[in-house]
Amino acid sequence: MPIVKFKRVLQKGVDPGHDVRAVKRAVARHGEWPWQQFDDIWHTGPKTFADQGLRNFQKAMGLTPDGVYGPQTHNKLIGAKIPKTHLHAGQWCFDQTSINLYNGYEDQSAATRIVKAIFKFWHCMEDVQQSWHYSQVRPINLTAKCNSGGYADCSGTVIMAAHASGAKSPDPIYGYSGPGNTDSLRMGGFSISLSEVGRYCKDHYVLAFYGWAWSATDHVVAGEAPNIWHSDGNENAPEIWPSVYAGGLNFLGCKAYAVI
């Protein structure tokens, strides 16, 4: 059986961490949660991992299904093997990757470095703003250098900056294939409140959306900090906004995107 010392209780409000991703992986290997690109956030509320995946695992192990990852749940997960009806049946749910994540072997600063690179790209474009022209041209030019100038729009610039920085694409529909727009971007990430921007913008790509409804978005900006928002929505951009409301558009909300 894997030897993994319990670190902390995972429940509503806990700070993000690789141990969160490790637990999600292990529970998913047991079959209680869909396999996917896991993030480090302990999501709570209806239909989230804590509400469904963890509770289902706790039920299967005969534990109180409270959606809180404590010592008892940890011990059960460490000792659990993948059921016969699932891929890799008989293996420990807590595989070596999960163990490494839980113990913190993965570089904790990788996401932060990528986010810094994303906004270095934005600032670089803003430094040569007159060389950039507003256009909704597709495919997005992912080979463009930030200081070379060219054509881009709000969603295209969001994607260009992520690609240039080595981030996971914030667009779950088109990835880095060339298309992409506010509508496809809004399908990714997870919703956060304005009060949470300062917490997530350090190691996530935070975007704010505008439009008449979530089903009809027409502008997106990138949040470097609560008082620094980058927009590329007109010929006088890319530009910096001091507030998420600075553009005078109908603000819909924010989403955070894992970059690794």
Per-residue pLDDT tens over the stretch 49-99: 999 999 999 999 999 999 999 999 999 999 999 999 888 899 999 999 999
Q: State what percent of residues in the chain have pLDDT above 70.
A: 98
Domain that holds residue 232: 110-258
Pick the last residue of a domain from 69, 103, 137.
103
d(CA 73, CA 61): 8
The DSSP H or E segment spanning 221 is strand 216-225
81 and 188 co-located in one domain = no
Report if residue 10 sits inside a domain.
Answer: no
pTM: 0.62
Pick the last residue of a domain from 88, 103, 118.
103
CATH of the domain at 202: 3.90.1720.10
86 and 129 co-located in one domain = no
Pick the last residue of a domain from 70, 103, 136.
103
d(CA 125, CA 73): 49
Report if residue 76 sits inside a domain.
Answer: yes
Instruction: Please tell me the least confidently modeled range out of 84-88, 188-192, 228-232.
Output: 84-88
Query: ∠ at Cα 48 (46, 53), nearest 5°?
Result: 115
Tokens 């093997």 map to which residue?
81
Please count the structural domains in the chain: 2
Handedness of CA 153, 139, 204, 67 (dihedral sign): positive
24 and 146 co-located in one domain = no
